[in-house]
Amino acid sequence: MGLDATVMCNCFRDGKTTPPPFPREWLEVDDEGYINLKNEHDSDDNWAKFYEWEQSCCEHEGMDFAYTRISNWVGYRQFQAALGEVGWHHFPVLEEQLPNANGGLTPSVASAKALEELHFLPLPERSE
């Protein structure tokens, strides 16, 4: 199992996508900012149509503005352990924002602060 980070584009919100294969009212934005079919329209056939549309409905494949593979759960837990060894008091935003299960949403303001906190991590010595 892998852990990924994505930033969804705003094309759907801004009306820059091609029309979905069913009425736009059938779609909703969930708590994590992703577009999904509403429960009453949730079927295998509709999901297949939705997925196919989502892959090419705008200039961003899969409606992902940015996407990166982070690690697997073992590597992620090792990263958390390293933060703990340095001291969580140096990483309050990371401690609050790093998920402990699948899913999660980090606001952009918190992302910028978390990036600043990462500068506190000591870099491994390089052998030349």
Nearest to 21 by CA among 68, 43, 54: 54
- Can you list the residues of the chain whose pLDDT is less than 70? 1, 125-128
* pLDDT number for residue 31: 82
pTM above 0.75, yes or no: no
For the chain, which residues make up each domain, given as ranges?
2-66, 73-118
* pLDDT number for residue 123: 74
Q: How far is CA 20 from CA 36, 49, 70, 76, 121, in A?
A: 12, 9, 31, 36, 45
How much of the chain, in percent, has pLDDT values that exceed 90? Answer: 70
* pLDDT number for residue 4: 86
Q: CB of 4 within 8 A of CB of 76?
A: no
* pLDDT number for residue 1: 67
* pLDDT number for residue 113: 95
